[in-house]
């Protein structure tokens, strides 16, 4: 396939979303003219994109300790980053590869990618498909992965949201249907525990301002174990009433308040590419599940392929 980056604009009512073939990136999302995500002003910037801005990350999202795991008695070594761990599928993971794009009218686009055996160190060839569809104010990711052998897969969308359209997310209200989280050590690898959020700064079961919860000013970068409750798993509301709601079939949600975000390339107008300029809500299976059996398996097979459905709606309340 050509290496040229394709783009397609989805629109329905007041919502307008620009999707790129590189990494399945959502480059821009506007609601009534308000830009509610961070993005770069050129498609080419997404070829490097060190912050994984707007893309689908994988094959395995989040961190895998030391980039190592065992499968059927064989040890596998994945590429590691500066912290010594594997992150978001590696330096040339799915978020930095150029997918084949097939527009499906004004409200949907399909992206496909064949990932070969040993791509970024992973066993097996995998056919990935991401279908993005817009209905009213709600964007849905339908993501599938069909391998030719048993292999790990854990995908996540990695958009940076600021539903106020400017400034920081400190004054946004966050509501999470999560009674537990998976705490991490100093290296950001989960300890393997499930910590009740009751009585901690991590408790968003009742909506509260992010800065009021962030008592030590360090922000949040943590996986939440979502409660099995109907309705949206997460909500974010700006001071003027723009609301994001997220539904997912995944058990985990990484909440990242862009604590270490730094400018990389020219931003789309109005975007704050600095600390706390946005919040990421990454629906996923648990981090380092490959080395933490109690977190559940992320192995898929030809007979049991991967599937994720996540919907995010952004509209005035």
The pLDDT, as a whole number, for residue 82 is: 87
Residue pLDDT, tens place only, 146-172: 999 999 999 999 999 999 999 999 999
Dump pLDDT digits (tens) for 200-242: 999 999 999 999 999 999 999 999 999 998 999 999 999 999 9
Residues 6+ apart with CB under 8 A from 54: 20, 23, 25, 26, 27, 37, 38, 39, 46, 158, 159, 160
Q: Hey, is 188 helix, strand or coil?
A: coil
Mean pLDDT of the chain: 98
CB 16 within 8 A of CB 10: yes
User: How does 217-249 read in b/e, with b if 16+ C-beta sit within 10 Å?
Assistant: eebbebbbbbeeeeebbbbbbbeeebbbbbbbe
Coil, helix or strand at residue 212 = helix
Please tell me the predicted confidence (pLDDT) of residue 133. Answer: 99
Residue 185 — φ and ψ, nearest 5°?
-85, -175
Cα angle 157, 198, 168 (rounded to 5 degrees) comes to 45
Measured distance CA(103)–CA(235) in Å, rounded: 29
pLDDT in 10s for each residue of the chain, 317 residues: 469 999 999 999 999 999 999 999 999 999 999 999 999 999 999 999 999 999 999 999 999 999 999 999 999 999 999 899 999 999 999 999 999 999 999 999 999 999 999 999 999 999 999 999 999 999 999 999 999 999 999 999 999 999 999 999 999 999 999 999 999 999 999 999 999 999 999 999 999 999 999 999 999 999 999 999 899 999 999 999 999 999 999 999 999 999 999 999 999 999 999 999 999 999 999 999 999 999 999 999 999 999 999 999 999 99
Domain ranges of the chain: 7-316
3-state secondary structure of 109: strand
Domain 7-316 of CATH type 2.70.98.10: yes
CB 230 within 8 A of CB 240: no
């Amino acid at each position: 396939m050509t290496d040229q980056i394709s783009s397609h604009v989805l629109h329905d009512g007041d919502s307008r979303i620009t999707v790129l073939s590189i990494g399945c990136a959502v480059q821009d999302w506007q609601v009534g003219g308000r830009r509610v995500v961070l993005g770069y002003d050129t498609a080419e910037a997404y070829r490097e994109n060190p912050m994984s801005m707007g893309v689908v990350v994988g094959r395995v999202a989040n961190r895998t300790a030391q980039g190592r795991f065992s499968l059927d008695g064989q040890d596998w070594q994945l590429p590691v980053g500066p912290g010594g761990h594997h992150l978001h599928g590696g330096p040339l993971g799915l978020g930095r590869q150029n997918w084949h794009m097939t527009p499906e009218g004004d409200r949907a686009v399909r992206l496909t990618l064949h990932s070969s055996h040993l791509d970024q160190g992973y066993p097996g060839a995998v056919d990935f498909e991401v279908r993005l569809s817009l209905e009213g104010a709600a964007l849905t990711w339908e993501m599938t992965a069909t391998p030719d052998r048993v292999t790990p897969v854990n995908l996540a969308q990695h958009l940076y949201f600021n539903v106020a359209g400017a400034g920081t997310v400190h004054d946004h209200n966050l509501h999470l249907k999560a009674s537990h989280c998976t705490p991490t050590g100093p290296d950001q690898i989960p300890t393997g525990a499930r910590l009740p959020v009751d009585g901690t700064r991590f408790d968003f079961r009742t909506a509260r301002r992010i800065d009021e919860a962030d008592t030590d000013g360090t922000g949040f970068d943590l996986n939440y174990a979502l409660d099995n409750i109907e309705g949206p798993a997460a909500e974010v509301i700006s001071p003027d009433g723009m609301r994001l709601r997220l539904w997912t079939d995944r058990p985990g949600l990484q909440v990242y308040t862009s604590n270490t975000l730094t400018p990389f390339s020219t931003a789309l107008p109005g975007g704050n590419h600095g600390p706390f300029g946005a919040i990421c809500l990454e629906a996923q299976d648990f981090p380092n599940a490959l080395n933490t059996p109690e977190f559940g398996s992320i192995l898929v097979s030809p007979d049991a392929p991967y599937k994720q459905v996540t919907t995010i709606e952004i509209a005035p309340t």
